Amino acid sequence: MSSAPVSAPLVETPAVGGPDRPPLAKKVLVSDHPTWCPGCGDFAVLSAVQRICRDEQIPTEKLAMISGIGCSSRIPYFVNSYGGHFIHGRSLPFSAAISLGRDDLHVFNFGGDGDGFSIGGNHLFHAARKNTKMTYVIMDNSVYGLTKKQTSPTSPIGFKSKTDPWGAMEQPVNPMKTLLTAGATFVARSHATQVNHMTEMMLRAAQHDGFSVVEILSECVEFNEGAFDGANPRKGGTWRTIELKKNDGSPEDAARHDPTDELAALKLALEPAPGYFGVFYEVKRPTKNQLERDLITKAREKTKGASALQLLEGTFAKMR
Ligand SMILES: Cc1ncc(C[n+]2csc(CCOP(=O)(O)OP(=O)(O)O)c2C)c(N)n1
Ligand code: SF4
Ligand SMILES: [Mg+2]
């Protein structure tokens, strides 16, 4: 899934599945014991991430699991890989630096609705437009879980919380609309109870060359119980998936969604809650990783492979 590294890793480890290393088993990706409340939707998200890393045989030393702060952001503790639990809302620029410096790594970024759309909202916008290669998994429970029930940017109007004891009054963020208009090149949505669908969306996101985002509705059983039952058929809800175009010329294909059509994606995003699930948008655009690689190559050609010291000395010489 990755392209040539900007800088080579310090230590080369044997290839998984090769003579010196067995195929990657899911248990190898497990680290520590998750500390979430029993029944929390985040368990299913963790399991799906470990499943795709196992299925894709991504060696643990090629994985970087980064997060902000929140219950959802605990994920890096539970995956055996490089990891970072960063400042609330600030994990995207941190992940971008890792991706640009070591683009042989698969960078996953995890966070909650508060981390992504509230304190980290500004970083989300710029990470999306820059198209730095990483996969951002937003575990949306429509509440601040870790800090024990405050209104979050995705809490619906009327949601009673410690910050809105009489019910939330403000218009919530529409995650799909926000991500599309910010310029993300892969935007998908899923539900933690729909395990196969969620795993498929995360896999597609991880295979995307660019900034990919999956919003996963992940129930906080402690502070927002039943919030996403409306999309859960086992709880009497309606599960509406996006059927993607097959380009097979059939009459029914006309009604299917073209994921490169931004306006069609926005139309789907505007559907009232619980809305649609699947791939809303998927396009190719040069990544910041590629643009920087090209720039470095051109600069090296121009300076005829001079070392950093020689360049510095040359600059000082011109200043004399
Ligand atoms: C700079 C800063 N501001 C506020 C906090 C307090 N805080 C910790 S987690 C959190 C919200 C978490 O909500 P969300 O991102 O939705 O994650 P969840 O716990 O719901 O998974 C807040 C406000 C903090 N740790 N750091
Ligand atoms: S408080 Fe909510 S989000 Fe946090 S671990 Fe418990 S159920 Fe999950
Ligand atoms: Mg939350």
Closest listed residue to residue 134, CA positions, set 143, 144, 145, 123: 123
Q: Is the pLDDT of residue 3 over 70?
A: no
pLDDT score, position 21: 86
Q: What is the pLDDT of residues 257-306, one digit of tens each?
A: 999 999 999 999 999 999 999 999 999 999 999 999 999 999 989 999 89
Instruction: Indicate whether 310 belongs to any domain.
Output: no
Half-sphere exposure (Cβ direction) of 176: Cα atoms closer than 13 Å: 26
Provide the domain count of the chain: 1
Helix-, strand-, coil-residue percentages of the chain, each rounded to 5: 40, 15, 45
* Dihedral sign from CA coordinates of 4, 205, 51, 216: positive
Using pLDDT thresholds of 50, 70 and 90, give the confidence band for residue 2: very low
Place of tokens 């470990």: 50
Bridging pattern class, strands 186-191 and 134-140: unpaired
Bridging pattern class, strands 82-85 and 134-140: unpaired
pLDDT score, position 4: 45
Instruction: Indicate whether 110 belongs to any domain.
Output: yes
Centre of ligand 1 to C-alpha 136, Å, is 17
Instruction: Indicate whether 303 belongs to any domain.
Output: no
Is residue 184 within 8 Å of 281, Cβ to Cβ? yes
pLDDT score, position 11: 64
Using pLDDT thresholds of 50, 70 and 90, give the confidence band for residue 8: low
Q: Atom 9 (ligand 1): residue with closest C-alpha?
A: 70
Counting ligand 1 atoms within 8 A of each CB, the residue from 88, 92, 154, 163 with the most, and so the one to mutate, is 88
What distance, in Å, lies between the first and last C-alpha atoms of the chain? 48
Q: Atom 1 (ligand 2): residue with closest C-alpha?
A: 145
* Atom in ligand 1 nearest the alpha carbon of residue 218: 21
Is residue 52 within 8 Å of 98, Cβ to Cβ? no
User: Which residues span the domain enclosing 201?
Assistant: 26-285
Q: Which ligand is nearest to the CA of 70?
A: 1
CATH assignment at residue 126: 3.40.50.970
Centre of ligand 1 to C-alpha 146, Å, is 6
Q: What is the pLDDT of residues 179-189, one digit of tens each?
A: 999 999 999 99
- 3-state SS class at 56: coil
Instruction: Indicate whether 48 belongs to any domain.
Output: yes
Instruction: Indicate whether 34 belongs to any domain.
Output: yes
Q: Atom 8 (ligand 2): residue with closest C-alpha?
A: 40
Instruction: Indicate whether 302 belongs to any domain.
Output: no
**How does the average pLDDT of the chain come out, rounded?**
94
Centre of ligand 3 to C-alpha 76, Å, is 17
Provide the token pair at 267. Answer: 């139309």
Q: What is the pLDDT of residues 148-203, one digit of tens each?
A: 999 999 999 999 999 999 999 999 999 999 999 999 999 999 999 999 999 999 99
Q: CB under 6 Å to ligand 1: residues?
A: 69-72, 88, 111-115, 119, 139, 141, 143-147, 152
Instruction: Indicate whether 300 belongs to any domain.
Output: no
Q: Atom 13 (ligand 1): residue with closest C-alpha?
A: 144
Centre of ligand 2 to C-alpha 147, Å, is 10
Q: Atom 2 (ligand 1): residue with closest C-alpha?
A: 88
**311: left (phi > 0), else alpha (psi -120 to 50), else beta?**
alpha
Instruction: Indicate whether 233 belongs to any domain.
Output: yes
* Dihedral sign from CA coordinates of 288, 294, 299, 300: positive
DSSP string, 60-102: GGGEEEEE-SSSGGGGGGGBSSEEEE-STT-HHHHHHHHHHH-
Q: What is the pLDDT of residues 92-111, one digit of tens each?
A: 999 999 999 998 999 999 99
Q: Atom 4 (ligand 1): residue with closest C-alpha?
A: 88
Cis peptide before 274, with omega less than 30 degrees from 0?
Answer: yes
